Amino acid sequence: MSSAGAGQSGGDGQADGGGPSSGSSVDFGPAPDDPLAARLFPPLPGTVKWGLERTRRILAGVGHPLRTTPILHVGGTNGKGTVAWIWASILRETGLRVGLYTSPDLISFRERILVEGRPLSDLALEAAADELRPLLLREEPSRFEAATALAFLALERARVEVAVVEVGLGGRLDATNVVEPLVTAITNVGLEHRSLLGRDLAAIAREKAGILKPGVPAYTTAREADVLEVLTREAATLGAPLIRVPEPSGTLGMEGITVSLPTRRWGRLELTSPLVGRHHFSNVALAIRSLEGLPPRIAVGAEEIRRSVAGVRIPGRFQVEREGNRLWVLDVAHNAAAAEALASTLDRVAAPRPRVGVVGILADKDHAAVLSRLAPALDAVVLTTPSGIHSSRVWNPGEARAALPSEMEVHIEPDAGRALDRARGLMTEGATGVVTGSFRLVGEALQVMGRVPPEALPPSSDFE
């Protein structure tokens, strides 16, 4: 997840210094209007309730799925989904049967649970859901808790040999934090979900550090002094070796990045990746260096790393699509740090101008910060509203417009499809359109453009 998050379960208390709030907030589980999710889950509470006990009870009721499966666990504010995808790609290249659980999805719930890089059949997901249903009705978990339990059970039934798990929201009280991983990674810590996770970086870092486990190697690319102080202290308390991964050198362009990465296990690796943006230097480095913490029985070779990194493509992360001689960039930059990275990348790769943004942000995000960071990289903006979201998360584009420069050309079009059409009308020959903000908006745009990622489609075979 970019840092898109998840609903949590109830009851483990509140962090010191402004940690998780006990107030009601919308759960970031499967979208209520997702037809597949509607079949899989009974009606469930749509609010965040902190804690892990409910998830533990549900998993215990179906035999503790994934308890004996090697797991890699990644959290952080931005980039954790990218690290998870790279991990899964490399481990698949070694010949292991790999399960991947990420959130949120762009279009369909089936994107969240992959085996061997492919979605499970809907029948396999429905079988797992049927097994869980009595427990879900009894425990009334949040939607994300239910999704996490389903993912663990479905991956267990699919006989995965290793599982990669991305944190949903925060870390300490996230529903995924019931795992006992072989390796943990924390990408970075930014100001996000402050009403839920804490009012400052130190408080949020304590929540992120909650995924650290006694004696389990931990890796991070965090840079801020106050964040590192928290992570170092928490790791020392647990006896978890904490390794700081520096940003490697490299080059970037519209076709991707090259990275020169020194490692302890494989020497210096010269890597090429189709991922676009300087921030991916750190994501690639973290994903690879953290694999050094795996036990010898999971053997990863340098050539497997090179092939995997060169082939991993992640939908909605600076995804470049072409319509004639016009360029589209689709990126789920849903917080200030991600928006700054997107704006910087557009400039660094010299995406053709004029650039017209189609931007839709959820109400619980700091939309003023996101828009102010995007504005210098755009020439015109169409503000829109992602569809199918809870009413409490619908932002007010008219109010948000004040965060953009008064001289900038700004249009408001509530319907995402019409917003894309409006942007096309503003794009001259050779221009660039930029679709960004929420996962849902990027997913809608991919559907309108006919670029639905294969992970969102029902499998064409009976693969399970």
**Statement: residue 341 has pLDDT above 90:** yes
The whole-number pLDDT of residue 26 equals 56
pTM assigned to the model: 0.92
Q: Give me 410's structure tokens.
A: 């700004």
Average the pLDDT over 241-253 and give the result.
97
What distance in Å separates the CA atoms of residue 379 and residue 360, rounded to the nearest whole number?
17
Q: Give me 26's structure tokens.
A: 């919308």
- Among left, alpha and beta (phi > 0; psi -120 to 50; other), residue 203 is alpha
What radius of gyration, in Å, describes the C-alpha atoms of the chain?
A: 21
**Statement: residue 11 has pLDDT above 90:** no
The whole-number pLDDT of residue 82 equals 97
Amino acid (one-letter) located at 91: L
**Residue 215 CB neighbours (<10 A):** 8
The whole-number pLDDT of residue 245 equals 98
Mean pLDDT of the chain: 91
Q: Which of 305, 267, 281, 184 is nearest to 223 (CA)?
A: 281
3-state class (DSSP) for residue 71: strand
What distance in Å separates the CA atoms of residue 180 and residue 150, rounded to the nearest whole number?
18
Q: Is residue 104 reached through a cis peptide bond, with omega within 30 degrees of 0 on the bond before it?
A: yes
What distance in Å separates the CA atoms of residue 451 and residue 320, rounded to the nearest whole number?
11
**Count of residues making up the chain:** 464
The whole-number pLDDT of residue 327 equals 96
Which residues are registered as beta bridge partners of 357? 381, 434
What distance in Å separates the CA atoms of residue 70 and residue 175, rounded to the nearest whole number?
18
- What the chain holds in terms of domains, given with CATH numbers, is 35-311 (3.40.1190.10), 319-448 (3.90.190.20)
- With cut-offs at 50, 70 and 90, classify the pLDDT of residue 192: low
Say if residues 423 and 391 touch (Cβ distance below 8 Å). no
Where is average pLDDT lowest: 9-13, 24-28, 379-383? 9-13
- With cut-offs at 50, 70 and 90, classify the pLDDT of residue 182: very high
The whole-number pLDDT of residue 68 equals 97
Question: Phi and psi dihedrals of 324, rounded to 5?
Answer: 60, -125
- With cut-offs at 50, 70 and 90, classify the pLDDT of residue 20: low
What distance in Å separates the CA atoms of residue 102 and residue 84, rounded to the nearest whole number?
8
Q: Give me 119's structure tokens.
A: 């979605």
Question: What whole-number percentage of the chain has pLDDT above 70?
Answer: 91
Q: Give me 391's structure tokens.
A: 């009413």
The whole-number pLDDT of residue 170 equals 87
Average the pLDDT over 341-358 and give the result.
97
What distance in Å separates the CA atoms of residue 319 and residue 140, rounded to the nearest whole number?
37
The whole-number pLDDT of residue 13 equals 40
**Statement: residue 125 has pLDDT above 50:** yes
What distance in Å separates the CA atoms of residue 160 and residue 150, rounded to the nearest whole number?
14
The whole-number pLDDT of residue 294 equals 98
- With cut-offs at 50, 70 and 90, classify the pLDDT of residue 461: low
What distance in Å separates the CA atoms of residue 146 and residue 140, rounded to the nearest whole number?
9
Where is average pLDDT lowest: 50-59, 385-394, 413-422? 385-394
The pLDDT tens digits of the residues spanning 203-224 come to: 899 999 999 999 999 999 999 9
Say if residues 386 and 448 touch (Cβ distance below 8 Å). no
Which residues are registered as beta bridge partners of 117? none
The whole-number pLDDT of residue 292 equals 98
> Which sign, positive or negative, has the C-alpha torsion 366, 371, 374, 376?
negative
The whole-number pLDDT of residue 31 equals 82
**Statement: residue 15 has pLDDT above 90:** no
Average the pLDDT over 301-329 and give the result.
96
- Among left, alpha and beta (phi > 0; psi -120 to 50; other), residue 445 is alpha
CA–CA distances in Å: residue 53 to residues 13, 18, 24, 41, 178: 11, 22, 18, 20, 9
Question: What whole-number percentage of the chain has pLDDT above 90?
Answer: 82
DSSP symbols for 186-229: E----S-SHHHH-SSHHHHHHHHGGG--TT--EEE----HHHHH
What distance in Å separates the CA atoms of residue 157 and residue 45, rounded to the nearest whole number?
26
Helix (H) or strand (E) holding 357: strand 355-360
Torsion of CA 127, 128, 131, 133, to 10 degrees: -100
The whole-number pLDDT of residue 120 equals 97
Average the pLDDT over 158-184 and give the result.
96
Say if residues 25 and 48 touch (Cβ distance below 8 Å). yes
| 35 exposure class (CB count in 10 Å sphere: 0-12, 13-18, 19+) | exposed
Average the pLDDT over 257-261 and give the result.
98
Say if residues 364 and 355 touch (Cβ distance below 8 Å). no
The pLDDT tens digits of the residues spanning 30-42 come to: 887 899 999 999 9
Average the pLDDT over 136-152 and give the result.
96
**Residue 77 CB neighbours (<10 A):** 27
Say if residues 384 and 415 touch (Cβ distance below 8 Å). yes
Q: Which of 109, 131, 103 is nearest to 35 (CA)?
A: 109
**Statement: residue 25 has pLDDT above 60:** no
**Statement: residue 63 has pLDDT above 80:** yes
What distance in Å separates the CA atoms of residue 187 and residue 343, rounded to the nearest whole number?
20
User: Pick the residue with more confidence: 391 or 435?
Assistant: 435
**Residue 307 CB neighbours (<10 A):** 14
Average the pLDDT over 54-80 and give the result.
97
Question: Phi and psi dihedrals of 260, rounded to 5?
Answer: -110, 105
DSSP 8-state code for residue 111: G
**Statement: residue 19 has pLDDT above 90:** no
Say if residues 395 and 319 touch (Cβ distance below 8 Å). no
Cα angle value 127/29/35 (rounded, 5°): 55
